[in-house]
Chains A and B, each alone.
Chain A
Amino acid sequence: MERYREIIPEWEKFLRFCYQPLPKTLRVNSIKISPYDLEEIFTKQGWKFHRFDFCDYGYEIVSNHDISKTVEHWLGYYYIQEASSFIPVLVLDPQPEEKILDLCAAPGGKTTFIAQLSRNKAVIWANDIGFQRMRALLSNIYRMGVTSAVVTNYNGLFFPNKVKFDKILLDAPCSGEGNMRKDPRRLKGAEPGFIRNISGIQKGLIQRAIDILQPGGILVYSTCTLAPEENEMVIDYVINRRNVKIEKIDLSIPHAPGITKWQNKNLHSDLVNTVRIYPHHLNSGGVYIAKLRKLS
């Protein structure tokens, strides 16, 4: 993590949060139940909770309950989700009738949130590769009552160019450094070789995503890592190879801007309009988010 000292504001605060356990957070699934009705159930069961400031569907459970072992969770009334995982979908802003691709969808937390925000009325392609990952994705889609998703299992690098999408979420596979609070082994940072390899895959995926986006369409690129090689440098790479522009992300929550210089290399100045969310911002994990519009 030390290599990020220069780019992470409030470094000491950041470090302090990295060593704290994650709070218990969840998203109410309004496809099945209203936040108000679920709050009533929680209250009846003696749960103590508070709603997120930035999203009416997000809750932190502050009482000592196992939120993964309840009938309500089993029924799909809520999804256990970190606060930082809400943000890429909120930036995507899915609407009914839109054709939306979630290119690396498993285990389905963001797919089911896309379905929820579009009131189960968008057409969502939820894609992933690999048998185990698909099982988790399917199980969550069924549990959450998503009727607007088609699940496919293409290698994202070769997703067919047959439909042009209005919006694409590329929550890319990454080194996962932002998950250090779930997995303390990540506190030492990812291996350089791994970062190099995965950034190559990310560059391939983002180019494919832009190719299957319709002109004017929106691509939200996100990772749960801190490495600029997997974040700003991927966007910097693609902006020089595809006709896209970086859109400014307006967020009311605390965050840091994307960086425009890394290890003596100057990056595109518009990367300042991308977003870095660190653990101390939302008392959550770390994420990076960029929003691109395809020009032609």
Chain B
Amino acid sequence: MQNSENYLEEVKDYFLRRFGIPESFWIEHTIFFRKDKGWIINPVILNLDVAFEDKISSLGFPFVRKLGKSLKPTSWGLIYLGHRITRNIVNLNLGDLKEILLRGRIIYNQELTPGYVALNYDGNVVGCGFYQNSIVEVQIPKARRKSLLEIIMRLK
């Protein structure tokens, strides 16, 4: 299978600038693009036989999407990066998390550069958000959002 080196450099650069992910992370990870979807994989998978490609449902897991000229991280990806993320983190308390999962957005008055952010609750990255004009919008997929909401509604 072929990787797209141009896209990979773009992804590395984006995650370094936006989330502080160092170059060393990419020693054991790479991104394989199929159409607009970038899958994070161990580089050894690139040695796969192309003959399998028609029946492949998934490689590693979805990490980033290409939206026009920009990139959008997935919640799976940001959760995986977890503590490696050092920038553009939105810290949520339990009330904030409930609100953003229920209403889809919260007001956030701290200064951040507009763009995608890592939503952090109780020391764990729980997914992706988008910050603009003092608003953070949740980007966690609906089904996952629902299951997380069910869990946190049980917390005191």
Contacts and interface: CB of A to CB of B under 8 A. Distances in A.
Interface residues on B, range: 35 or more
Nearest to A152: B55
A147 B28 CA distance: 10
Interface in A128-159: 134, 138, 141-143, 145-154
A152 B56 contact: yes
Contacts of A4: none
B122 interface: yes
Contacts of A145: 61, 76, 79-80
A289 to B, nearest CB: 27
Contact of B151 (A74, A120, A151): A74
Interface stretch (B12-20, B38-46, B104-112, B129-137): B38-46
B58 A138 contact: yes
Contacts, number: 89
B58 A71 contact: no
Nearest to B51: A162
B151 A162 contact: no
Contact of A149 (B49, B60, B124): B60
A23 B42 CA distance: 35
B152 interface: yes
Given A134-B57, A142-B61, A70 B44 contact: no
B57 A147 contact: no
A160 B42 CA distance: 23
A69 B58 contact: no
A212 to B, nearest CB: 12
A75 B147 CA distance: 11
Interface residues of A, number: 31
A163 B51 CA distance: 10
Contacts of A71: 121-122, 124, 126, 148, 151-152
A287 to B, nearest CB: 27
B151 A148 contact: no
B58 A151 contact: yes
Contacts of B76: 142-143, 145
A97 B44 contact: yes
Contact of B41 (A122, A134, A148): A148
Nearest to A126: B58
A32 B82 contact: yes
Given A69-B151, A71-B122, A71-B151, A148 B45 contact: yes
Interface of A: 32, 69-71, 74-76, 97, 120-123, 125, 134, 138, 141-143, 145-154, 160, 162-163
Given A121-B28, A122-B44, A134-B57, 12 more contacts: A69-B151, A71-B126, A123-B44, A145-B61, A145-B80, A147-B42, A148-B42, A150-B56, A150-B58, A151-B56, A151-B59, A160-B52
Question: Which 6 pairs between the two chains have the least Cβ-Cβ distance?
Answer: A151-B58, A142-B61, A147-B60, A148-B42, A151-B57, A145-B80
14 contacts: A69-B150, A69-B154, A70-B151, A74-B144, A125-B52, A142-B62, A147-B29, A148-B41, A148-B60, A152-B55, A152-B57, A154-B55, A160-B51, A163-B49
